[in-house]
Structure 1
Amino acid sequence: MANEPANRAAFDIQAGYCIAMDAPITARVCTALADALDRDSETGRRVLDWSGEPVADALALRLVGGLHALHRAGVDPALSAEFSGAETDPSCVSATLKATLVAQDAALLPWLDGPPQTNEAARSAGMMTGILHLAERYGPRFEVLEIGSSAGLNLLIDRYRFDLGGVNVGPSASPVTIHPEWRGAPPPGAPVEIESTRGVDIQPVDVADPVAAARLEAYVWVDAVERQARLATAIAMVREGGVDLVEGDAADWVEAQLAEPQPKGVTRVLMHSVVWQYLPPASRERIRVAMDTAGARATAERRLGWVMMEPNRDLHRHEVRVRGWPGERAMELVALTHAHGAWVEGLSAPYETRDYVMRRGAYEKN
């Protein structure tokens, strides 16, 4: 059921996340949109009448992505003044956004049709941290399965170089080095050999298409200059070397992949980042059941792992959780991380062993 106050509030909530992640321009746009949204455009009406859960649906970032795309296209000097940071007066920002929502209604409306494709290569730092914990437990050899792969940038996890608190992983000659600020305990210094990566997305992004690549770039916040440069390099890597990425339903694909033969001595790992909230509850349950069932079959020669980097919306942080089979160990919280991988905080044992929930305050979304 639509809840206009909650839908407006989602933009203020997103502004808080942006401030916490050092993105003041994007925060200012989100705050202004909470005021600027009205019913003079189809875009405004659709946002205000949104019937889903606006925070979990990333409603604010859908619209901000469209506005950023207009800025990048140079369609309106006043809008570009906001996205460049030249215009900071709240009333001026709000007035410009009101006008843009009407003038660019047809261009903005399609951006509400699906969740943001924020395919951030640096998020792989959190997932590699989880893999290092599994490598310490099970040995170096892995095959990686990823759901919600978007453009497949994190399927390049075997081609990136990582410096994680002084623990180095990956090819030294890689054009992309992921080197987040490291806090807390370092990850295990275990060797990692990723033998294959495969991924699925309900609507994969083909970065060979310039229009699709431009859309991906629009989802990177205008404040994040380093992320924009890293994205460009990662896109070039995908174009040059390709990735094994297919279109499909996450639950269907996981069930099929887990049924495939597994090489001896290899740990098969399911990984995902900022995906769980977008899956229907039935799909999440099917994936849980599929992993538990496959885990029950796991042996010392054919292991199974699960690495997730998903948001804790109450605490403005993301959590890296790891589970492995064989064994009865529960999902363990091994690290905290910035949403876009700017920093990682390694945790020390004993680890929290609670299943992931997106929020722990007003409500919990399993």
Structure 2
Amino acid sequence: MAADDRNRIANGYRRFAEVEAAETSPLYARLALAVADDPDVLAFLGGLPAGKRQPNLLFAAARFLHGTPDGIDDLRRAVLDDGDRLRSTMQARATQTNEAARCAALLPLLAAIAGPLALIEVGASAGLCLYPDRYSYDYDGVRVGAQSPVHLRCTTTGGLPVPSRLPEVVARTGIDLNPLDPADEDTRDWLRALIWPGPAAEDRLARLEAATAIAAREPARMLTGHLLVRLPEAVASAPPGATVVVFHTAVLPYVPGAERAAFTEMVRDLPVRWVAQEGTGALPDVEALAPGEARGRFLLSLDGRPVAWTAPHGGRIDWFAGTMA
């Protein structure tokens, strides 16, 4: 592996440790820093395609096969002693983290859009964010919706317009290169492995179990394929009279730059409302309009207009004061 490639991988793991995992998963932060200085693990990563080297995929695959590593020695053993299975797992699977708690950020926008709504989620994974009307919410003590097994608490700043009702959803469609079946136990095992160990892990695991149960009882329509190919079809098949909402959370970093640009151009031209919740750099034109810094946060936007910073795995919304949904 060339030195430039090795340094690029190492720097990516250091950034993951410092920006993404430092607070939410101290174990993953320590592991990522150790990987950045480990020539054997870096060599293993260098033998994988560029899109398969990210920390959360490596750590999830190791957990899926061997349980949560206690430290770099456990991870090194997985790489050196079981490298073939680890490699094949990383190549066959993807970081399709499906966090229902992100619906707490989506809800204020969805509830403000005239319905009924036909939801289309790009990069849907198991589709757990397609059920915002099946969950209940608590925004700083203000409850929204009848009590659900998936109850989402959210801290807010900036005068968030807390909705008074849940939206009416008449259609749920997901688009993914590899849709996951929430009723399948192997799928659930993989989704569990994707949850970062840390102070929020217990709550996230319980929420995952409850959300997959809801999705399994009421399956969404899932389209397998590329977003540029399947999105027009999904929009065209929406029920007559419904407002079509295309949304995505933490998806665009996995879409190559040229395809990402083509997608944003497409979604702007379609007769839809567009809700995005993405990390730094995913939508630079939208991010340029946002106040403050994005470090460790997602940007929530409606039709290309930024409205809030949000916590990547849910639980906090910093609304831009004066912004109306």
The range that moved more, 340-349 or 281-290, is 281-290
1:35-69 Cα offsets, whole Å, 9 max, x none, are 23417xxxx534135563x7xx6611110111222
Query: Aligned ranges for residues 313-328 of structure 1 at < 5 Å?
Result: 315-323=295-303
**How many angstroms apart in 1 are the aligned matches of 2:223 and 2:8?**
35
**How many angstroms apart in 2 are the aligned matches of 1:167 and 1:131?**
17
Q: Which runs of 5+ in 1 are unaligned?
A: 73-78, 83-92, 296-303, 324-330, 352-366
**How many angstroms apart in 2 are the aligned matches of 1:341 and 1:50?**
31
Q: Secondary structure at the match of 2:156?
A: strand
**How many angstroms apart in 2 are the aligned matches of 1:340 and 1:59?**
18
* Contact 1:36 1:95 (C-alpha < 8 Å) held by counterparts: no
Partner of 2:188: 213
Partner of 2:10: 8
Q: Secondary structure at the match of 2:270?
A: helix
Structure showing greater Rg: 1
Matched length: 306
Q: Secondary structure at the match of 1:316?
A: coil
Q: Which runs of 5+ in 2 are unaligned?
A: 282-293
Question: Aligned to 1:112, which of 86, 90, 105?
Answer: 90
Alpha-carbon distance, 1:14 to partner: 1.1
Matched, 1:204 2:179: yes
Distance 1:12-1:19 versus aligned 2 partners, 3 A rule: same
Alpha-carbon distance, 1:7 to partner: 0.4
Alpha-carbon distance, 1:258 to partner: 2.7
Partner of 1:255: 232
Matched, 1:189 2:152: no
Matched, 1:306 2:274: yes
* Contact 1:8 1:48 (C-alpha < 8 Å) held by counterparts: no
Amino acid at match of 2:195: V
* Contact 2:9 2:53 (C-alpha < 8 Å) held by counterparts: no
Partner of 1:103: 81
Matched, 1:174 2:153: no
Alpha-carbon distance, 1:18 to partner: 4.0
Q: Secondary structure at the match of 2:309?
A: strand
The range that moved more, 184-193 or 203-212, is 184-193
Query: Aligned ranges for residues 209-358 of structure 1 at < 5 Å?
Result: 209-223=184-198, 224-260=201-237, 263-264=240-241, 266-295=242-271, 304-312=272-280, 315-323=295-303, 331-349=304-322
Identity %: 26
* Contact 2:119 2:172 (C-alpha < 8 Å) held by counterparts: yes
Normalised by the length of structure 2, the TM-score is 0.84
**How many angstroms apart in 2 are the aligned matches of 1:16 and 1:177?**
30
